Amino acid sequence: MLISKKKNKKIVLIICPHPDDGEAFSSQLCVQSIKNGWKVHQVLATCDEYGTPNKILKGERIKRIRKSEMIKAQKAYGFDSLGNPQVTLHWMHYIDGFVPHNKAAILRLQKFILKLNPDIVIGPDPFVYCDGHVDHMAVGKNYFFALKWMDAQERPKRMLYFQTLMPNYFLQRLYDQIVFKTRMSHASQWSPWMLKIIDLFNPLTQISFQLKFGHLKLIEGYREVTFTQTHNPPKGIARIFYYLFHDRPLGCEEGRFIPGPKELGLNLYPESEIE
């Protein structure tokens, strides 16, 4: 997928389970959209309240750290001529590991998408995925059904999955320095050597690009959202990788959620609109 600078200003929405997912999987698209003068929004399902093995940090402490790091990443994308951040952040206020997948959650996300009215929307692939984290699954399914339940004319013009094993849209890397800066904003989760691993962690997307064009380039790979059942099952080598992950979802290890959300004073199911 190539972004043309001749197009009019558009709105791009990136739907992320956790702070840093946008920088991990859609950073090039985010930066290149900004360079084209488009409006970019990230909506974050959680603040990674349980995203640490240190029980003392779980809850509000790690929430504050991860939220402040996300705001730092937002600033790393830059500001417009009026001093406004180039990326607008929105928060769903769900709790890490407890993102619900139900009708209420689907309709809540759908209402937000319709209100923002993006031209391009991106979310995690819940069908042909390379990360079995429970939040990625829930957010991906909510994303899919939020789009499916819309009237066709209301849907964004381009609907894509990130973190997929079967990409069919590709974006070449152009702004590595900016991307590196945004990723390193998440200092409690990232390090320079981890970035190198991330660049090599998506070999399937890179192999697809190499086989198609005959030379090595690092890229971001996305899959088009479709509502035909035959398009969603994994195929080929993606099927092998899929079955290595789908029976062992990450993020729900025994004892990970001790103490529980109520003990930490966390609200599991916010009902307010996403702002």
Question: Domains of the chain, with CATH numbers?
Answer: 11-245 (3.40.50.10320)
In this model, does residue 14 exceed pLDDT 90?
A: yes
User: Which two structure tokens, joined as six digits, stand for 120?
Assistant: 């391009």
Residue 58 to residues 54, 121, 208, 266, Cα–Cα distance (Å): 7, 31, 39, 11
- Answer for the pair 221, 205: CB distance below 8 angstroms, yes or no: yes
pLDDT-based confidence at residue 165 (cuts at 50, 70, 90): confident
What is d(CA 162, CA 140) in angstroms, rounded to the nearest whole number? 10
Rounded (10°) CA dihedral 170, 171, 176, 180: -70
DSSP string, the chain: ----TTSPP-EEEEEESSTTHHHHHSHHHHHHHHHTT-EEEEEES---TT-SS-TTTTTHHHHHHHHHHHHHHHHHT-B-TTS-BSEEEEE----TT----SHHHHHHHHHHHHHH--SEEEEE-SSSBS---HHHHHHHHHHHHHHHTS-GGGS-SEEEEESBSS--EEEE---HHHHHHHHHT-TTT--HHHHHHHHHH-HHHHHHHHHHHSS---EEEEEE----GGGSS--THHHHHHHHHTTS-TT--TTTT-S-TTTTT--S---SPP-
pLDDT, residue 68, reads: 96
What is d(CA 15, CA 41) in angstroms, rounded to the nearest whole number? 9
- Among 252, 232, 228, smallest CA distance to 242 is for 232
pLDDT, residue 117, reads: 96
Q: Stretch 252-272: mean pLDDT, rounded?
A: 68
In this model, does residue 204 exceed pLDDT 60?
A: no
pTM of the model: 0.86
- Answer for the pair 69, 274: CB distance below 8 angstroms, yes or no: no
pLDDT, residue 4, reads: 45
What is d(CA 224, CA 6) in angstroms, rounded to the nearest whole number? 22
Half-sphere exposure of residue 130, counting CA atoms within 13 Å on the CB side? Answer: 21
pLDDT, residue 71, reads: 96
Q: Stretch 217-238: mean pLDDT, rounded?
A: 82
What is d(CA 150, CA 106) in angstroms, rounded to the nearest whole number? 11
What is d(CA 181, CA 198) in angstroms, rounded to the nearest whole number? 15
pLDDT, residue 218, reads: 61
pLDDT digit string, tens, across residues 84-123: 999 999 999 999 989 999 999 999 999 999 999 999 999 9
In this model, does residue 258 exceed pLDDT 80?
A: no
The share of the chain scoring above pLDDT 90, in percent, equals 49
pLDDT, residue 205, reads: 45
Q: Amino acid identity of 138?
A: A
In this model, does residue 228 exceed pLDDT 90?
A: no
More confident residue, 161 or 6: 161
Average pLDDT, the chain: 83
What is d(CA 15, CA 274) in angstroms, rounded to the nearest whole number? 12
In this model, does residue 138 exceed pLDDT 80?
A: yes
